[in-house]
Amino acid sequence: MATKPKKALRVLAGIAAMLAFVAVVLLVLVRQAGNWGVPYFSFTSAHGSPCTNDFTGYTCEPLTLADVEFFGDVDLPDDTAVLAGSYRSTHDYRLTAELAVPPASSDAALEELHEAFGPCRKGVSTPLPSKGLTSRCAMASEDGTDESREPASRIYVVGTGLRKDGSRVIALNIRSR
């Protein structure tokens, strides 16, 4: 009779071990599902932004400065603050971001914007509010072609201006073709 309780304890121990194994496997699956692209699971981008998968791609929001620079192919001063930003990737991509640069780095930021997006253009409407800004500048892809007259791989509208305190605000709107 003493063997029945021992046998029951071994069966219970076996069940507990199986349940623990299943729990560990489920934990690993849930934690890694976002990295594997499973819809509606989250992951963190390589540059630190929280992202969520869906059936057609993923969305990262809010964005870190490193992700804005990576996705936008632009190098901005390190003290740039991301006020708002979103990156949507499907078979194409779309980046929208609002940034603020302190007065000390304002000129450097404008130089980087010109290097990445070209000179200021007249008659271009931007996603940047114009009220209260001076030295406004708009940069945009002209007609959707690059220097070789081939269709450009990205279309962009970038707006920037100075606030009264000398800080620079930037609005990026970039999408692939």
Question: Is 0.75 surpassed by the pTM of this model?
Answer: yes
Contact 89, 54 (CB under 8 A): no
* Assigned domain for 129 exists: yes
* Assigned domain for 159 exists: yes
* Region 55-68 average pLDDT: 94
Model confidence at 148: pLDDT above 60: no
- Note the pLDDT of residue 60: 95
* Assigned domain for 94 exists: yes
109-139 pLDDT, tens digit per residue, is 999 999 999 999 888 887 787 788 888 889 9
31-47 pLDDT, tens digit per residue, is 776 777 777 788 889 99
- Note the pLDDT of residue 1: 52
130 phi and psi, to 5 degrees? -90, -15
* Assigned domain for 1 exists: no
* Assigned domain for 124 exists: yes
34 phi and psi, to 5 degrees? -65, -45
* Assigned domain for 137 exists: yes
Cα(118)–Cα(139) distance, rounded to whole angstroms?
6
Token pair recorded at residue 128: 């940047």
Cα(177)–Cα(167) distance, rounded to whole angstroms?
32
Its domain, for residue 72, covers 57-176
Contact 173, 158 (CB under 8 A): yes
* Assigned domain for 134 exists: yes
* Assigned domain for 43 exists: no
What's the total number of domains in the chain?
Answer: 1
Cα(92)–Cα(33) distance, rounded to whole angstroms?
22
Contact 143, 118 (CB under 8 A): no
